[in-house]
Amino acid sequence: MIAGALWWVVFVVALAWFQITFVHQAFAVPSGSMEGTIMTGDSVYTEKVSYLFRDPAPGDIVTFQDPEIPGRVLIKRCIAVGGQTVDLVDGRVVVDGVALDEPYTRGLPSEPLKTALGVEVSYPFTVPEGHLWVMGDNRTHSNDSRYFGAIEASSVTARGVLVFWPLQDFGLLE
């Protein structure tokens, strides 16, 4: 009887580990860098399966390993991928010569930031192959690729799908 119950406990723990590692995970948002879309303290459901079949694309909300603090995960919007050129012109983001329509920024300007130590970002900036340019939707309160440069695509851990908590913020992420 005890051996059977122990087997079920091991099975459930292994299944949970498999799901969190390879399928989906909840992510609590600790900062206001995505406010307007995701509020500080919101809980976001992320999924990991789609990136087994396709690469992150502009517009995706992605979680990724912080390039500065090992073990910390950040959440931002993918703006451009390898080979694309990003520019910041009069507070607007321009990718490959086309100004983006970004209603999720609520009109906040996209200005260059002072970069992290050892990082050089000058505009226009061509995203290296195998990298992504990510930015927070709350452009005036987000350390993002303007600060730490393009991130390695391999550092992406999941795609944000929906806010599930608190209930008043419940909804799909776009």
Residue of 33, 110, 142, 145 marked active site: 33
The structural domains of the chain, with segments of one domain joined by +, span: 49-158
More confident residue, 123 or 30: 123
* Residue 164 confidence (pLDDT) above 80: yes
Active site residue 76: yes
Residue-averaged pLDDT of the chain: 85
- Each residue of 11-56: pLDDT tens digit? 555 555 655 555 557 778 778 788 888 889 898 889 988 898 999 9
Rounded average pLDDT over 153-168: 90
Rounded average pLDDT over 158-164: 89
In words, the CATH class of domain 49-158 is: mainly beta
Residue of 48, 76, 110, 145 marked active site: 76
pTM value is 0.83
Q: Are 63 and 56 in contact (CB under 8 A)?
A: no
Strand ranges (E), the chain: 24-28, 43-47, 61-65, 73-81, 85-89, 92-95, 98-99, 125-126, 131-135, 151-152, 156-165, 171-172
Active site residue 142: no
